Structure 1
């Protein structure tokens, strides 16, 4: 009898939900917006396609089939072009509850990326954006070169072996160690042996999967997190591990700074005034100058943000650059020619190119830009909530509370913007339009968003650019490459970051 009552209760709840969903759809002013039939009534369709890790491809297919706006779940609509009202500077469209999945459930724990409080986000970003500015890159170049040298030595050792290299993994090792050096004046040690130090990469991957999926049903996050953070290997446990790691580094640095002030310890590289300052010292100095403006939690939050977001974006982008260069030998030859010409004009051609020099290499910049267009690092819509008063978007009047979002993959594969050859890797498309700076240039720039757009653009985009502009010229100048054709070299999994899986490459000494 109790079992029958349970089944009956569940059946009644499901029936009530179905009736409610049908009622909401029939009375919605947006019921004419097309999309998969089941997506009108439940988020299950969207959840399953995100869970498959291939939603970036599905999202492009949906817009090719249905047009500029598509329903992917009840009250969730994907748009195909950036709208200034939604993403422009001063936009009143807050992030949706999907971002709750990226937060710690505790209300006093928040980070910059998922923060839905628009005022707090703007104030925090203003406080720390100078640490990520183009002018600050010079102070980080030494850290990048240190990791780059180790990376190239590892590639040299692989070039004399009979094994292909998982380049997606090694690019992440490089990017992770760079962020460790920039943030803490201490590499994590991924580049030493290519091993996952303390399970950090696994923890980060698990955390990404968890946050991506639980955000679709954000109401469940506090309950699931409380259970899963106790289970080894879960995404919630991975998040907890990373938080503890960052706090440990901050505690160690605070102790070291205290000892230096007491004269009980010699200065480290991070403390030496003649050496570049890392993030942690800059933040600690700011805290000492104004404890109210830069609090201990700000130091923790920014340190965690660097680790969580600082490696995957760069690793994915570097993988796309190398893959497309290897697949297009004529493009690789043009890039090598430009690199050689720049080196011949230098007084010390044996030294690596500086970041400043790389910015005067138009073909290098076009290669990077095109690689990030074809394969932007993030692959899900940037969900935003329509504010009070509603908004007119893509030919429809949206009531307040509606959720709309643009996926960078959809924007980057729009043939009306980038041409009929939108699927082709062709860096020249950027050089052609940059000469005139006309309407087509403006259109392409407006639809190019590998690091997001508007007031929520990725703070660390310049650091990622620094890492790519330093490594790519040295790597392609010193080595030859060949794809390992034993398997599919460009499978991807999309849990927010669209990461290549099994990107195996033969690295050979350049003749």
Structure 2
């Protein structure tokens, strides 16, 4: 037998195996497409066949940072009158009128599996899927200062200290003539606020003018994986649970920077505080760490050791860079939209001359005396939501009517803040424009806009840090506009990765405006 004869004996079986595998895979893919397009319970709803057949498509779009653009394209193509199918199992409702049906109904209080991947660290209030478990856990943590009233009474003076440090550090940049990343500077402020509330002492990002332990940087890097694993259902349900796989992909306390360091720091702080309480008690203003240690379920039992540590990091995880994104986006809108900065400055000056403003400006002063600035904040949050994620719920047994459409049981149903808050039928033809005046047209209209604002979620699972974020925005931003002119050199861009947004390359200079008052 010649060489070619021997090769044929080897290659032919191999080729047959390859073709057999290829044929099996091809047949399986075709059958999946046919099922998803014609026989799946959601096949009646419109959506592109490639996205509605394979959840991998949505994962790739997320990793490429194109999710808002993709969903906007779908809304423009299919309209807003019907829910749009965006994956094999998920429907998005484009209209604001659907939000209440999804997020206020207790029967829809089961979160989709996107939350339970472990990509954001140990289980916490945010990642709890079951509605009843979430209710019990949230009630256990209800002693923490979430509401604006408690924040004003217990923490606003500490916010003032951080605002003062921020202004002083920006003055140093002014004197040195430095160009800074404006969006990063306000994000560092947000990281300090969240770490201060969590651990009493801020990490020192503003004081040291750097991203301490690369908390923000590593958070942004990790968003791509969070988006991929959350959207690719097969990977989420089959690959991550495999032995040792999760340990490789998911964050651990072994790292020296970023999320790993934060988890390690939470463990250290909890251990040290428990020892302090056991030996001497705790008589300082309770921070979130202390509230986690004192939290009790209805039967009197405390949080587990893992829950204590995961919830200590929750505010920083969920609120540091997201609030920083809101601060940066609003500042960019104010400084780059013609006429807005001048009007906002004039309002501040008028309130200042009337003696209405403290130094730094208090939350309540912004709310009462700076209505246009408040409108700027709300409009910026509307257009650039910090967490425009697929906050999906599972339809209950027997299905549910949502926004006039019957949805079968077991479906993932969601809105998407970036799309919903640009609905032209609700907001008008200028829905994509930054126009703060829309919030000042009438009290009735303002209430209508507020009722569908989804940037912090809605219903019993609304973001627990919402009021903390608004206090930061109401205090830092007007103080910055009050004290500085801002020369924008590069507008940068709003980036969405894994359903969470951050700002890139918003560059400029602070120019000191006036001296002689308070901290100036």
TM range (shorter): 0.7 to 0.9
How many angstroms does 1:85 deviate by?
Answer: 2.7
Deviation string, structure 1 residues 149-184 (Cα, Å, up to 9, x no partner): 111111111112333211221111111111111111
Give 1:256's aligned residue. 276
Structure 1 or 2, whichever has the larger Rg, is 2
Give 1:376's aligned residue. 385
How many angstroms does 1:286 deviate by?
Answer: 4.6
TM-score calculated relative to the size of structure 2 = 0.86
Q: Are 1:319 and 1:500, in contact at CA under 8 Å, matched by a contact in 2?
A: yes
Give 2:111's aligned residue. 95
Q: Are 2:123 and 2:307, in contact at CA under 8 Å, matched by a contact in 1?
A: no
Give 1:129's aligned residue. 142
Q: Are 1:287 and 1:295, in contact at CA under 8 Å, matched by a contact in 2?
A: no
Deviation string, structure 1 residues 26-45 (Cα, Å, up to 9, x no partner): 12353232222312321232
Residue 485 of structure 2: SS of its match in structure 1? strand
Supply the distance in 1 between the matched residues of 2:107 and 2:163 (Cα, whole angstroms): 39
Give 2:177's aligned residue. 162
Supply the distance in 2 between the matched residues of 1:194 and 1:379 (Cα, whole angstroms): 28
Supply the distance in 2 between the matched residues of 1:38 and 1:22 (Cα, whole angstroms): 11
Give 1:66's aligned residue. 78
Q: Are 1:88 and 1:453, in contact at CA under 8 Å, matched by a contact in 2?
A: yes
TM-score calculated relative to the size of structure 1 = 0.88
Change (3 A) 1:11 1:193: farther
Paired residue total: 489
Q: Are 1:325 and 1:332, in contact at CA under 8 Å, matched by a contact in 2?
A: yes
Q: Which residue of 359, 372, 378 maps to 2:367?
A: 359
Q: Which residue of 457, 469, 474 maps to 1:469?
A: 474
1:253-292 equivalences in 2 (<5 Å): 253-261=273-281, 271-273=282-284, 276-286=285-295, 292=301
Match status 1:193 vs 2:212: no
Supply the distance in 1 between the matched residues of 2:230 and 2:322 (Cα, whole angstroms): 20
- Unaligned runs of 5+ residues in structure 2 are 1-9, 515-520
Q: Which residue of 483, 489, 500 maps to 2:488?
A: 483
Q: Which residue of 228, 231, 240 maps to 1:221?
A: 240
How many angstroms does 1:454 deviate by?
Answer: 1.2
Give 1:245's aligned residue. 265
Match status 1:141 vs 2:156: yes
Change (3 A) 1:351 1:381: same
Deviation string, structure 1 residues 403-437 (Cα, Å, up to 9, x no partner): 12100011110011111111111111011032xx2
Q: Are 2:50 and 2:57, in contact at CA under 8 Å, matched by a contact in 1?
A: yes
Match status 1:414 vs 2:423: yes
Supply the distance in 1 between the matched residues of 2:513 and 2:462 (Cα, whole angstroms): 38
Supply the distance in 1 between the matched residues of 2:252 and 2:221 (Cα, whole angstroms): 12
How many angstroms does 1:24 deviate by?
Answer: 3.8
Give 2:512's aligned residue. 509
Residue 142 of structure 2: SS of its match in structure 1? helix
Supply the distance in 2 between the matched residues of 1:412 and 1:451 (Cα, whole angstroms): 12
Match status 1:43 vs 2:58: no
Residue 500 of structure 1: SS of its match in structure 2? strand
How many angstroms does 1:381 deviate by?
Answer: 2.3
Supply the distance in 2 between the matched residues of 1:294 and 1:226 (Cα, whole angstroms): 24
Change (3 A) 1:441 1:322: closer
How many angstroms does 1:471 deviate by?
Answer: 0.6
- Unaligned runs of 5+ residues in structure 1 are 262-270
How many angstroms does 1:446 deviate by?
Answer: 3.2
Give 1:8's aligned residue. 20
Q: Are 2:372 and 2:436, in contact at CA under 8 Å, matched by a contact in 1?
A: yes
How many angstroms does 1:89 deviate by?
Answer: 4.7
Change (3 A) 1:496 1:20: closer
Q: Are 2:143 and 2:295, in contact at CA under 8 Å, matched by a contact in 1?
A: no
Residue 506 of structure 1: SS of its match in structure 2? strand
Query: Does 192-201 or 304-313 show the bigger shift?
Result: 192-201
1:318-467 equivalences in 2 (<5 Å): 318-346=327-355, 351-360=359-368, 361-434=370-443, 437=444, 440-467=445-472
How many angstroms does 1:294 deviate by?
Answer: 4.4
Deviation string, structure 1 residues 29-73 (Cα, Å, up to 9, x no partner): 532322223123212321221111121122122112111222211
Supply the distance in 2 between the matched residues of 1:201 and 1:115 (Cα, whole angstroms): 24
Match status 1:30 vs 2:35: no
